[in-house]
Amino acid sequence: MTTQSSISLVGTDPIFQDRTAKTARSWAPSVVGEDAEVLSNDSVNLEYRHLVVRCGAVAASAVPGQFFQLLCPHTDGDQPFLRRPMSLYGVNPARLEVEFLYKIAGAGTRGLATLRAGDAIDIMGPLGVGFTLNPKLRHIVAIGRGAGLATLAPLAQAAKANGTKVTAIFSARRPELMVSVELFNRHGADVVAVTDSESTSGPANIERILRGLIAEGRCEAFYTCGSSRLLRVQQRLAREFNIPGQVAMEQQMACGIGLCFCCVRDFNVGGEIVHRRVCWDGPVFDMMEALP
């Protein structure tokens, strides 16, 4: 059982009225704050943990690329004040479940790691503009590193339902820190794993792989998150071959609903530098407008 409170956001900000039609359709018209039930909170490897919660129907309607604001538990040593933004790792609307993948890196995530099955956690979401997956796309390329591997994960299921083939290029420091590989494989994606320790994760090698995929007709769009270096490679190839792309931007946030302007970044829109809030106007943007 979850306790919900609905927070309407439509029309509260003039920027919403200026969104393109595509962006407006991707935007959730309301968010829900609720006490969700923790179903599991297990270690995945030496760095990451997988949190699954039972939630309400609105939260379970989240789409790839959206995120939630989690109120992290206090511990004896830490008392986090602000919520922590957490990208959607998985969703099951039929079972009313959402999933998150997180790395213990500070007071908030140390608090998350203390949660056990049956505990309650205050979640707010879904928030932000998610990925757009054109049903006409036959083959896309997803490129992620670090937290980007979690953000891109829901694309695997969405692409399979869409009949779109996926080639995923995943980057990590070492093989044992790689995540999401089995998930993408389960949904029929081809996964290319590259690592720093094996000297395969550099931009030159990624560009070589991408040029091969483009030549084979297996790259009709880019979806990326987690690496500025790899984003620059994709932008260069996108210009050369006229390939569209979307990027989920990573940024520190406070409120998560566009009120505090904590997450403003610069974007190049038609040659003009404009300021956008990652939480409200994104976190997913046109890849060619992003400034790495």
pLDDT confidence band for 28 (50 / 70 / 90): very low
pLDDT in tens, 164-220: 999 999 999 999 888 888 889 999 999 999 999 999 999 999 999 999 999 999 999
222/148 Cα distance (integer angstroms): 14
Mean pLDDT over residues 61-85, rounded?
A: 87
pLDDT number for residue 4:
55
Residue predicted with more confidence, 27 or 194:
194
**pLDDT(13) > 50:** no
- Extended beta strands in the chain, E state: 3-8, 30-43, 48-54, 67-71, 84-87, 90-92, 97-103, 120-127, 139-145, 165-172, 190-195, 222-225, 245-248, 264-269, 272-277, 284-286
What is the SS3 assignment for 57? coil
- Contact call for residues 72 and 111 (beta carbons, < 8 A): yes
pLDDT number for residue 30:
67
Length reported for the chain: 292
pLDDT in tens, 101-118: 998 888 888 889 999 999
**pLDDT(125) > 90:** yes
User: Tokens 């932000």 belong to which residue?
Assistant: 128
Residue predicted with more confidence, 88 or 22:
88
**pLDDT(25) > 70:** no
Residue predicted with more confidence, 187 or 3:
187
Please report the domains of the chain, with CATH numbers, ordered by start residue: 3-127 (2.40.30.10), 132-248 (3.40.50.80)
What is the SS3 assignment for 108? helix
